[in-house]
Structure 1
Amino acid sequence: MSDTRKDPCKANACRIQACLNKNHYQEDKCLDVLEAMRQCCLKWHKESLCCSGIDLEKTYLPEASKEKKPTGKSNK
């Protein structure tokens, strides 16, 4: 039937649900766990069923999007 291996991102999905429940479903209170899920899905999206609804292009933490922009060494 289904593969018996554990879903590598399931723990992150559970953390998202717990955080959203604790914070009355205010997504902005759970950005760190959402970003952790996205990072897991970037690595495991082909094996994890939990990643089916995750936008891999969306960065949840403002700091992460700023850090990604500089791609090389200084051009000076």
Structure 2
Amino acid sequence: MGQNEDLKANPPCHPRACAIQDCLTKNGYKEEKCQSVILALYECCDAFYQSKGDNATSASCPKPDLLRLKLSILREESRETVSQK
């Protein structure tokens, strides 16, 4: 499912949240193995808030301020990982 379809889901981004649960289950709840799926949810939620505004809500998404903080941390960690290779 693409991001546009995930934004139209009820609640928005719910398929991405389910993908995280599936990934965690398959990987023994090791969050580090699911970073790409977590990032996909956050990017979906970011698109949701950009489209609907910061007052919109989705049970699948963190609050906008927390989302932006988590996105910036994940992106920074991703840059550090790439620069270490």
TM-score per shorter chain, which class?
0.5 to 0.7
State the 1:52 CA deviation. Answer: 3.6
How many equivalent pairs are there? Answer: 62
Q: Which amino acid aligns with 1:49?
A: A
User: Normalization by structure 1: what TM-score?
Assistant: 0.64
User: Normalization by structure 2: what TM-score?
Assistant: 0.58
Q: Which amino acid aligns with 2:78?
A: E
Q: Deviations over 1:13-49 (max 9, x none)?
A: 0000000000010000000000011111112252421
Identity across matched positions, percent: 35
Q: Which amino acid aligns with 2:26?
A: K
Q: Which amino acid aligns with 1:18?
A: D
CA RMSD, 1 decimal:
2.7
Between structure 1 and structure 2, the one with the greater Rg is 1
Aligned counterpart in structure 2 of residue 37 of structure 1, from 33, 38, 41: 41
SS in 2 for 1:49: coil
For structure 2, the residue ranges without an aligned partner over 5 or more in a row are: 1-8, 50-55
